[in-house]
Structure 1
Amino acid sequence: MMENKELPNGWAWATVSDLAEVGTGTTPSRDVVAYWKEGSIPWITSSAVNQFSVTEANEKVTSAAIRDTTLRLYPKHTLLLALYGEGKTRGKVSELLIDATINQALAAIQLRESATECRAYLKSFLQSHYDALRRQAVGGMQPNLNLSIVKRIRIPVAPLAEQHRIVEKVEELLSELDVGVAALKRARGNLKKYRAAVLKAAVCGELTADWRASHLNVEPATALLDRILNERRRKWEADQQAKYSASNRALPKRWKHKYSEPDSPEPKEPSKLPFGWVWAKTAQLGDIQLGRQRSPKNRSDKNPTKYIRAANITEQGLALDDLLDMEFSPAEQITYRLRAGDIVLSEASGSPDQVGKPAVWNDEIPNCCFQNTVIRLRPEQVRSKFLLVVFQHLYLNKVLAKVAGGVGINHLSAAKFSALVVSLAPEAEQDAIVSEVEQRLSVISATEEYIDAGLKRASRLRQSILKEAFTGQLVPQNPVEESASELLLRIRQQSKASLSPSRSRQLRRPVRRREPNGIIFHRGAIASYIVRRLSANQSFGRTQLVKALHLAQAHVRVDLALEFKRHQLGPLDEAIYKLEGFARKRGWFIGNERETKGVSYQGGPNIDERCEAALNILGENQREMDRLLTDLLPLDTDAAELFSTIYAAWNDLLIDGRSADDIGIVAEVYAWHESKKKFPRSSILSRIVWMRNNGYVPTGSGSRTQTLSNKDGESGS
């Protein structure tokens, strides 16, 4: 972060581990009620570091959670650093002002007793080097920090007395700067509200009240709507006639009666609309089409075609610098090709507030289609820019967020979009509305640019202050003060002593894992059931068995009391090794080492008895368990690994409250372990689609997979 920089006289380099002990926490199993019910011990997640200090917890655990798991109780004034988290959370630092436990997304930096006076200086340094900390993260598409990285962070340590002067001066200067920044951010927030208010006023007719007063003889919107509906019927009839003519068939009797007229909205209070306006459903205003699903069979072949997806639609318009392509046949291109004037909206997102972002397609790219995360409205005789104003209002004022639904991924759906009721202005007034909105929004945009420039200047000033602070240029130095080298020597000497008894008890890890009585028989029954069903697959081995056990616990909700960790080959609990030995002794099933890498299984003489027990354990869940095993049977080792890993990663995102859209899930899979890069992004996305289509969608229940420690390993499949 500041390596190889020359330090002022009396300063010295140190690492975080020279000044503090670094640890982390965990998420106790949600399935164990005793860990959470009537808990009184604060449990902190990574979202807490967005505050300067932590004074309360949203959730609390019991003493049983500390007794039975790797959870630690950290004392007040422990520093917290986010190892990973939603958005910009990774790398942020806060301070506990209460005794609390933490989850695995946080690093706890507990100053050594001889270094406690350095706490404020260390906290200020870490906070000032937020961007540098984030750059040290490792992993795939969603890099994370880890405890090893945190321990190695290099600190330019000033003499202790100078540290106090630095912290005091930094707080003084930054507090003044923060006042100005807060005012700019408030102004920017007000502009966003004003933008939403302008759009709402536009679709209610308030912006064009004066225009209507001077344009009395305007065709009403009811006439426009009638013309739209008549034209849509005419086109449908022409299409039918052309289709039957092409196949040399006669039109059937009463064929015109087969036309499905779009539903009209339920009558509303007329006074809510200006004179001449009318309520309409979006289905009445044009052709609505959901995009084409992306799947392995649609990979580019003879007709590679560019397409847009939800990620290409932003609040500022279309972002087309990263378009992908897939196979669209000539017939499919006719259905899914975008035309100038089409309205496109994001159909799905991990956040409901991001569903329904609209944009107008202006033929930016020729022969471009769209994916099923996008809805297209092709307007019929309605101004596209006017409809953009309507849908921007519905988006920014959270109307579409309330309409969208789903677990994990929020969907607008073509059906819900078609049923939306919107206000339709007379055709002539639509142009006036667009003009008024564009004028006001241009002023808002210019003001936002001015504010953003001010925020950038404040950020540069902040960095300048902090750079001076931690290079010895902000406050005067005193050569007679104890040097940093002497301070660090004193800290090291005093740190050689053992932890005090009370603190030792706080940081003690359980010696052995406590498990419910008889759980080995419970697991053995389900494992035997899996072995009997999946052993017909020649590739079936330890990886598939462990992944089936993981999905049985996570998806089918079979209580196996397993604690899965993030191993190289996906979720794994080392309890599998004990289970294999126990199963061999009891004659349930036998694991045999393959000539190549891995383990294969065969049923033992007593496997039927355990399978009978499994049926009693499964009860009403047997059908879902059987469906799971049917879907696992044709999968090879890699496919089973990917299935289970995606499920666990997806569920972890939901538990953490992070975005669980396709982009987030793929990033979490790649961040799982370096080896996950063997799976192409397209394979991960295809498996996600398959999981949604087959009902394997996590709900954020159960416990999070635990981070793998250096001593953990995994045998082959």
Structure 2
Amino acid sequence: MQQKSELPEGWKSVSLGELVQPSKEKIEPSENPNLKYVGLEHIESHKCQIKGYGFSVDIKSTKTMFHRGDVLYGKLRPYLNKVCVPNFDGVCSTDILVFNATSNLNNYYLMRFLSTPNVVDYASNNSSGVQLPRINFQKLSSYTVPLPPLSEQHRIVSAIEALFARLDATNEKLDRVQEILKKFRESVLAAACEGRLTEVWREENQGIEFKVDILDSIDLGSSVDSEVIIDEFNLPDTWKWTTVDSIGHVKGGKRLQKGSNLVNYDTSYPYLRAGNLKNGTVEGEILYLQQNDYNQISKYTISSSDVYITIVGACIGDSGIVPEEYDGANLTENAAKVCDLHGVFNQYLALVFRSKIIQDQIQNQTAGGHPTLKDGVCFGPPARLLGDR
């Protein structure tokens, strides 16, 4: 329902239908094949811009004509409420309302008004249709528009554009900060996994005799890949190279049986999906197994002493430790666990898995358009796992 508020002096309330009407100017593609065509998919709503366009020569049916400075408004879901002001003449989809510029209205003011949350909610709640709901102008036309004098509209538009420009600049800076933070994390992990992070500590504790008996019992083996990796790094004297299967066992999770369904209430049998395994821990909504499903896959669990690693999907290679509260939870087939660890601290192993050297090995072992680790072979190539002990 539209909310009413007291307007500043000089403003007035008018319905959208009193202010503008959709353009009825149509054109056959053959009349001007060089006109640019704008579809709903071309409007970048959050920026109120057109991110691309086609050409009417490719369009076979009659389309609506628009002119530079008109307001284009998408009335069909999932593109409902997409709005922009083009800086060129063209034709557009009939699922786009075209509002021509008028003498008492700054069309950029109208564009910004149509983007406000209240208008968006109103259009969404008043759209009709089953598969592709849309808002018709008859319903939209009754919406009340707070209309300031034209000179104030210009000032409002200028203020909005200035503020949004600052927001865009801030977002760009934040994006750069995120990239800097990502590289910083990578450099910290690299330093940790190459012994540089604890270099001062080793110098201060030179008199301590490290226990390396477990390390000495682990054999790297003869892998061509291992020789390449070893040559790239100079590890501290007390460190060793090894492979994952030398310090633990790699086991996979289990797919749900056909016809099984997870539930969103606690059955005491949490099922950890790949989407839950993020940022070194468990996040997001946890779904649960029903008793019969749990009985079929009860052996495929993960302990808080294990290390998980995702092996399918966009987040392939994510690794970490499950919190104590999920100790014994069932594990998806889209992840693996390294269990029965010896000679390595599980939290250290999880960090090493997230380091660049291991991530590079994982990427080299993925296959297909949808990344999948082939039979877990990323665990075969050597991983630098063990530090000072």
TM-score, length-normalised on structure 2? 0.71
**Match in the other structure for 1:168:** 158
- Residue aligned with 2:4, SS: coil
Residue 96 of structure 1: SS of its match in structure 2?
A: coil
What RMSD over aligned residues (CA atoms) do the two structures have, in Å?
A: 4.6
Where structure 2 has 5 or more consecutive residues not aligned to the other structure, the ranges are 25-33
Map of 1:358 onto structure 2: 319
Q: What is the aligned counterpart of 1:53 among 46, 49, 55?
A: 49
Give the Cα–Cα distance (whole angstroms) in 2 for the partners of residues 399 and 96 of structure 1. Answer: 48
| Alignment match of 2:231 (pick from 270, 273, 289) | 270
Residue 184 of structure 1: CA displacement? 5.0
Amino acid at match of 1:357: D
- What's the CA shift for 1:201? 2.6
What is the deviation of 1:369?
0.6
Aligned partner of residue 169 in structure 1, secondary structure: helix
Q: For the Cα contact (< 8 Å) 2:282–2:323, is it kept in 1?
A: no
Q: CA deviation at 1:291?
A: 1.8
2:287 is matched with 323
Does residue 375 of the first structure (1) align with residue 365 of the second (2)? no
Alpha-carbon distance between aligned partners in 2 of 1:262 and 1:297, rounded to the nearest angstrom: 46
Q: What residue in structure 1 maps to residue 29 of structure 2?
A: none
1:567-586 C-alpha deviation (Å, 9 max, x unpaired): xxxxxxxxxxxxxxxxxxxx
Out of 181, 186, 207, the residue aligned to residue 191 of structure 1 is 181
* From 206, 215, 223, the counterpart of 1:224: 215
Q: Which one of 231, 255, 262 corresponds to residue 293 of structure 1?
A: 255
Aligned position for 1:337: 301
Name the CA shift for 1:331/1:149 in 2 (closer, same or farther; >3 Å): same
**CA separation of 1:406/1:169 partners in 2, compared to 1, >3 Å: closer, same or farther?**
same
CA deviation map 1:326-377 (0-9, x unaligned): 444557323x12212222233333xx3x333222013313542112233222
Q: Does the residue aligned with 2:22 lie in a helix, a strand or coil?
A: strand
> Contact (CA 8 Å) 2:280, 2:321: kept in 1 or not?
no
- Cα distance 1:100–1:203, how it changes in 2: closer, same or farther (>3 A)? farther
Q: Are the counterparts in 1 of residues 271 and 331 from structure 2 also a CA contact under 8 Å?
A: yes
**What secondary structure is seen at the aligned counterpart in 1 of 2:298?**
helix
Residue deviations 1:615-638 (CA, integer Å, cap 9, x gap)? xxxxxxxxxxxxxxxxxxxxxxxx
SS in 1 for 2:180: helix
Distance 1:62 1:402, change over 3 A: farther
CA distance in 2 between counterparts of 1:20 and 1:154 reads 14
Q: Equivalents in 2 of 1:22, 1:374: separation in Å?
A: 55
Contact 1:79–1:96 under 8 Å retained in 2: yes
Cα distance, 1:72–1:372 mapped onto 2, change above 3 Å = farther
Contact 2:272 2:286 in 1 (8 A): no
Counterpart in 1 of 2:16?
15
Counterparts of 1:410 and 1:81, CA distance in 2: 39
Which structure features the higher share of strand residues?
Answer: 2
Indicate conservation of the 8 Å contact 1:347/1:411, yes or no: yes
Other-structure match for 2:198: 208
How much does 1:116 deviate?
8.6
Please, what TM-score do these two structures have when normalized by structure 1?
0.42
- Give the Å deviation of 1:111: 1.9
Aligned counterpart, 2:269:
305
1:112/1:365 CA distance change after superposition, 3 Å: same
Report deviation, 1:275. 3.2
In structure 1, stretches of 5+ residues that fail to align are: 24-38, 230-260, 429-717
**Paired letter, 2:355:** H
CA contact (8 A) 1:19 1:115 kept: no
Q: Where is the helix percentage greater, Structure 1 or Structure 2?
A: 1
Q: Deviations over 1:263-309 (max 9, x none)?
A: 785422434241344444434442222221124444589x9832110
Listed as ranges, the matches of 1:314-463 within 5 Å are 314-315=278-279, 317-319=281-283, 321-326=285-290, 327-328=292-293, 332-334=297-299, 336-349=300-313, 352=314, 354-365=315-326, 367-378=328-339, 380-381=341-342, 382-394=344-356, 400=362, 403-407=365-369, 409-412=370-373, 414-419=375-380, 421-428=382-389
Counterpart residue type for residue 4 of structure 1: K
Equivalences for residues 273-672 of structure 1 within 5 A: 273-276=234-237, 277-299=239-261, 305-315=269-279, 317-319=281-283, 321-326=285-290, 327-328=292-293, 332-334=297-299, 336-349=300-313, 352=314, 354-365=315-326, 367-378=328-339, 380-381=341-342, 382-394=344-356, 400=362, 403-407=365-369, 409-412=370-373, 414-419=375-380, 421-428=382-389
Distance 2:131 2:3 in 1: 21
Structure 1 residue 14 displacement after superposition: 2.6
In structure 2, C-alpha distance between the alignment counterparts of 1:284 and 1:318, rounded to whole Å: 27
Q: How many residues align?
A: 362
Opposite residue 341 of structure 2, the aligned amino acid is E
Report the Cα distance in structure 2 between the residues aligned to 1:112 and 1:205, rounded to whole angstroms.
67
Superposed CA offset, 1:77-121 (max 9, x none): 454567667xxx9866444334567789xx644222436943110
Q: For residues 194 and 304 of structure 1, do their structure 2 counterparts lie closer, same or farther at Cα, with a shift above 3 Å needed?
A: closer
2:5 is the alignment partner of 1:5: yes
**Alignment-derived partner of residue 647 in structure 1:** none
- CA deviation profile, 1:162-191 (whole Å, cap 9, x unmatched): 212222233345545655565455434422
The answer on whether the counterparts of 1:41 and 1:60 sit within 8 Å (CA) in structure 2 is: yes
Change (3 A) 1:357 1:161: same
Question: Using a 3 Å threshold, how does the CA distance of structure 1 residues 271 and 371 change in structure 2: closer, same or farther?
Answer: closer
User: C-alpha distance in 1, partners of 2:335/2:254?
Assistant: 9
What's the counterpart of residue 606 of structure 1? none
Distance 1:100 1:403, change over 3 A: farther
Q: Aligned partners of 2:118 and 2:242: how far apart in 1?
A: 50
Contact 2:311 2:317 in 1 (8 A): yes
CA distance in 2, matches of 1:173, 1:136: 26
Higher RCO (C-alpha under 8 Å, 6+ residues apart): 1
Partners of 1:371 and 1:359 in 2: CA distance: 15
Q: 1:338 to 1:114 in 2, by over 3 A?
A: same
CA deviation string 1:590-639 (max 9, x = no partner): xxxxxxxxxxxxxxxxxxxxxxxxxxxxxxxxxxxxxxxxxxxxxxxxxx
Report the Cα distance in structure 2 between the residues aligned to 1:91 and 1:379, rounded to whole angstroms.
Answer: 55
